[in-house]
Amino acid sequence: MTAITRTYQVPGNDFARAGEASGHIKRILKELGFSPEMIRRVAITTYEAEINMVIHAGGGTVTATISPQAVAVVFEDHGPGIPDLELAMQAGWSTAPQNIRDLGFGAGMGLPNIQKYSDVFEIKTAVGQGTTLSVTIFAEGKEPI
Amino acid sequence: MKIAEIATLLETGAPLGRIQGDRDLTTAYAGDMLSDVLALGGQPDVLLTGLVNPQVIRTAEMLDTACVVFLRGKAPTEQILSLAESCGVCVLTTGKEMYEACGLLYGAGLRPAQ
């Protein structure tokens, strides 16, 4: 199998459609026969990042590159950026408003979870310009969850 | 434990969405914070929640959760049921609240997802 790439446009503040990109990526991985542990790690990572994009950034672009060895996903938005990345990486810290918490999100676990379940985690952010999050999950990566 | 047994214990209506064959269910998670169940990282076969929105089904899809139980008599919308059908998630609704529902399922052998 050669690497395949899929790109998704994620609309902002649309909670009926949030998760569509992650669901599609997950179905591709299932069809390709990746292990359940690998698929779950990718699913949690991409879903958390997609939800973040919908909540905080007004949407953005998700690009997934899938090879037998790894799944690399880039989340790019042109939202407000993250003013204090160190704070945002702390478990339990969140800026999500009450209406988002009412949906079951905003526990401040998004970025820590993404880092926890990915093998490579890189985030570039600038206030007023946006955020680019790049993650890679290797087929033979972290311990199974 | 099968979905039919959960339906009997919790006195639910008929299963909606899509039942995944004869899958045996052994673990569960209960809560109203989807972030928390994602943070758990495990794979609950059953998710019990008082939340009723499409993201409950999406979360179940991501975690390979076979069955979502909506508590306290909350009814899912057609949109939620349609999503459950396409994601392969079974939906049950019960009038019971979380504490009682968890107690009944734990007593019948369903264990916490780790």
Nearest CA in chain A to B54: A16
CATH code for the domain in which residue A68 is found: 3.30.565.10
Question: Considering the domain boundaries, does residue A144 fall inside one?
Answer: no
CA distance A29 to chain B (A): 12
| Whether the predicted pLDDT of A100 surpasses 90 | no
Q: Does A26 touch chain B (CB under 8 A)?
A: yes
Which residues of chain A are within 8 Å of residue B64 when distances are taken between CB atoms?
36, 40
Show the domain range for B105.
Answer: 3-112
Contact yes or no for B58 and A106 at CB 8 A:
no
Which residues of chain B are within 8 Å of residue A19 when distances are taken between CB atoms?
54-55, 58, 61-62
Q: Determine the Cα–Cα distance for residues A102 and A16; give it in Å rounded to an integer.
A: 15
Mutation target for B interface from A17, A45, A47, A142: give the one with most B CBs within 10 A: A47
> Looking at A111-115, B39-43, B50-54, B106-110, which range is the least confident one?
B39-43
Question: Considering the domain boundaries, does residue A145 fall inside one?
Answer: no
Q: Is B40 helix (H, G, I), strand (E, B) or coil?
A: helix
CATH code for the domain in which residue B79 is found: 3.40.1390.20
| Whether the predicted pLDDT of A99 surpasses 90 | no
Q: How far is CA A126 from CA A31, A54, A79, A108, B91, in A?
A: 37, 18, 9, 20, 42
Tally the domains of chain A: 1
Question: Considering the domain boundaries, does residue A49 fall inside one?
Answer: yes
Question: Considering the domain boundaries, does residue A143 fall inside one?
Answer: no
| Whether the predicted pLDDT of B51 surpasses 80 | yes
User: Do B28 and B69 touch, CB atoms closer than 8 A?
Assistant: no
